[in-house]
Structure formats: structure tokens, C-alpha cells
Amino acid sequence: MRLNDRPRRLRRNRLIRELVSEHGFDIKHLIQPYFVTDGSGVREEIKGLSGIYRESVDQLTRTLAEDRALGIDKVMLFGVTERKDTEAATSRDEKNPVVRAVGELKQKFGEDLFVCADVCLCAYTDTGHCGVTVDGEIDNDRSVEALTDMALALSRAGCDCVAPSDMMDGRIGSIRKALETEGLVNTVIMAYTAKYASTYYGPFREAAKSAPGKGDRKGYQMDYRNRTEALRELRLDEEEGADIVMVKPALAYLDVIADFKRRSRLPVAAYNVSGEYAAVKLSAQAGLVDEGAMVFENLTAITRAGASIILTYHLRDILKNEWHYA
Ligand code: PBG
Ligand code: ZN
């Protein structure tokens, strides 16, 4: 054959492939999630999320010292508590394990650790819903007030970045306004902008003890049949003062990530969620796939779609096992 063009020429060996590779993710753009709980001396592995723990503040500080040595310097904190009520009081008071953790971590690690915290009520409401229930319904505006108070409590404790994951209308604007009013001008808002009602959150809800007792989250999280609607949420979060916009989950929503990348001038983040992590872990544990290779393929796909920031439970394993592009 006399071919004019042979694409395989650029795939011949590792160095050529490296030279022409178009995309790759950067470890420095990854954020590791942690679950913080009440008490002291607590460190329990989460069923369904092997390698991920629920830890009390003292333990978390120790874990972070080790993880910092591995190379982790950007974290996302989630609260887990039994103190739940109708008003989600623990989300904003001094007993909130995340507020306490933020204070400790910033005192210990200062500028050497970038601390993000999830802002949502589901770990603190007795219903397990992300908003406050009034007369049997999730009251949007009442929920936004509570979420704003929670974001303020975190920011006052020194949190570098607050990440509202509740999907109530107007929460980004309300939080931004409150932060500005208090002079907390350096707090980054990473908005869970297009957060879909997803089966992929299964292991997380077990981890955070935040599964809704009754009903589902379809009244506030997005319907996975919708793509254009994500652009409406994007416009709102941009107008309301978000610094970073997020798509969640990641792997089944690469089209939405690509839309955000094209339409927005803000950094785009993607959340490689608990169900995506568990799928990889379980396949690897069953001996069906090479875990490191699958993690690299997944994180590269998310990057290729347009995300420059990825929240992923895999970060610690990548560093520990020194996984790399093969
Ligand atoms: C809280 C929240 C959830 C996740 C992040 N923040 C759960 C949910 O909305 O049900 C999911 C993260 C994951 O699955 O890894 N609203
Ligand atoms: Zn929630």
C-alpha cells in the first residue's frame, strides 16, 4: 500500500506518544475529600469506599500531616454527625465538626493547605434532605438562609473555599453578599453548579449518614435528561458571584463539562464521585482491571472534556502507589 497518511506513525513508541499527547491531568489540580466526625480518636474505614475514612478532628489533623508529606495540599471536607434536627442547627454552630476541623487545620498548616468545605444541610437535617422542611416541603429561601449562615461560619473559621452542594435557588448570590458584607473577601466560592440527581452518590450517603429518609433529591438536584438546563444554572452562578463552577458527577456528564469549558470564563471543576470511585475499586479488587490504569484513563477523560480541577477519592492512592502514565 502507498498511503498518504499513516496515523500510526505517531503511535510507534512511548516517546513519540508522549510528544504528541494532547491532554493529561496534573496532580496539582486534584482535591482529596475527607469525612470529619464528632468525638476524638475516631478513624473508621467507610463501608463501600475502601481507603476512605470517617475521622474525628484530632485524627484528621494527624492524617493530614501524613498526606501532606505524600503531596496532598488541597482538601475538601464533609461533616458527619448524629446531631440532626429540623433546622440543621449543627450545620452552623460551634459543634460542627467541619468548622472545628477548618480552625485546627488552618492553624496547623496555614497557607500550605488549601481547605475547601462542602456547604449543605443533608448531614444535619433529621430528614436527610439538603434543605429545611417546612409544612412537608423543602423551603428554598429558608434553606438559603441556613446555608448562608453555614458558609459564614466556615469562612470565619478560616476556610479558603466554600462549596455549596445543595442546589437551592439563589444560594450563591446570598453567600457572596454575606461574605462581602462581613469583609470576608478572600473566600472562594466553588459552586456545585450542575449537580445531577444521581445514583452515583450511593456510597457517599452511607459515608455521611445523609440519605434522605423519605423521598429523593429530584426536587432540587438536576434531571440527568437535561443538558441545556445546566447552562441556565451556569449563567446564574456566574452572575451571582461564583469563582469556580462544578459539574457533578463527572464520568457520565462529560458533555456538560465540555459545554461549561466552552461557555464559561471561570475554572471548571468536576467531581469524580463516590459511586465512580467504588466502581473502579470493586473492579480492581475482583481482579478485572488494572486500578492505576483505569484511574488515569478516567481522570484524563474528565480533563480532556474540559475540567481543570477534579475532586477525586483516588488522589491518595495515585501518590502512594506512584501511578503514572504508562
Ligand atoms: C451533599 C453532597 C453529596 C455529595 C457531595 N455533597 C451527596 C448528595 O447530594 O446526595 C456526593 C459526593 C459523592 O458521591 O462522592 N449534598
Ligand atoms: Zn446535601
* 310, β-bridge pairs: 30, 270
Which whole number is the average pLDDT over 58-78?
Answer: 98
- CA distance to 153, 190, 240, per residue, from 182 (Å): 11, 19, 17
The answer on pLDDT for 240 being more than 80 is yes
- CA distance to 87, 123, 163, 193, 274, per residue, from 206 (Å): 21, 11, 20, 23, 10
Which one of the listed residues 28, 74, 95, 195 is annotated catalytic? 195
Place of cell 462581613: 182
The answer on pLDDT for 142 being more than 80 is yes
- Cα gap 13→188, rounded to integer Å: 43
Quick one: what percent of the chain has pLDDT higher than 70?
100
The pLDDT tens digits of the residues spanning 278-292 come to 999 999 999 999 999
- Cα gap 220→19, rounded to integer Å: 45
Question: How far away, in angstroms, is 198 Cα from ligand 2 center?
Answer: 12
Cβ(237) – ligand 1 distance below 6 Å: no
- Cα gap 90→124, rounded to integer Å: 6
Q: Is 261 a catalytic residue?
A: no
The pLDDT tens digits of the residues spanning 1-12 come to 999 999 999 999
**Burial class of 68 by CB neighbour count within 10 A (0 to 12, 13 to 18, 19+):** middle
Predicted local confidence at residue 82, as pLDDT: 96
Q: Which atom of ligand 1 is nearest to the CA of 202?
A: 14
Q: Which atom of ligand 1 is nearest to the CA of 123?
A: 1
Please state the domain extents for the chain. Answer: 7-316
Cβ(201) – ligand 1 distance below 6 Å: yes
Cβ(165) – ligand 1 distance below 6 Å: yes
Cβ atoms within 10 A of the Cβ of 220, count? 18
The answer on pLDDT for 276 being more than 80 is yes
Q: In this structure, which ligand is nearest to the CA of 88?
A: 2
The pLDDT tens digits of the residues spanning 145-165 come to 999 999 999 999 999 999 999
Which whole number is the average pLDDT over 238-242?
Answer: 98
Cβ(130) – ligand 1 distance below 6 Å: yes
Is the CB of residue 40 less than 8 Å from the CB of residue 22? no
Q: In this structure, which ligand is nearest to the CA of 117?
A: 1
- Cα gap 115→113, rounded to integer Å: 6
Residue 246's contacts (CB-CB under 8 Å, 6 or more residues apart) are 163, 190, 191, 192, 193, 194, 195, 268, 269, 270, 271, 309, 311
Q: Is 74 a catalytic residue?
A: no
How many CA atoms within 13 Å lie on the side-chain side of 309?
A: 21
Q: In this structure, which ligand is nearest to the CA of 273?
A: 1
Cβ(204) – ligand 1 distance below 6 Å: yes
Q: What CATH code is assigned to 7-316? A: 3.20.20.70
Residue with the smallest CA separation from ligand 1 atom 14 is: 201
The answer on pLDDT for 209 being more than 90 is no
Question: How far away, in angstroms, is 258 Cα from ligand 2 center?
Answer: 25
Question: How far away, in angstroms, is 205 Cα from ligand 2 center?
Answer: 9
The answer on pLDDT for 326 being more than 90 is no
* 56, β-bridge pairs: 37
Question: How far away, in angstroms, is 73 Cα from ligand 1 center?
Answer: 22
Best residue among 46, 138, 201 to mutate for probing ligand 1, ranked by most atoms within 8 Å of CB? 201
Place of cell 437535561: 226
The pLDDT tens digits of the residues spanning 45-67 come to 999 999 999 999 999 999 999 99
Q: For residue 40, report the phi and psi dihedrals to the nearest 5 degrees.
A: -140, 155
pLDDT band at residue 242 using 50, 70 and 90 as cut-offs: very high
Cβ(118) – ligand 1 distance below 6 Å: yes
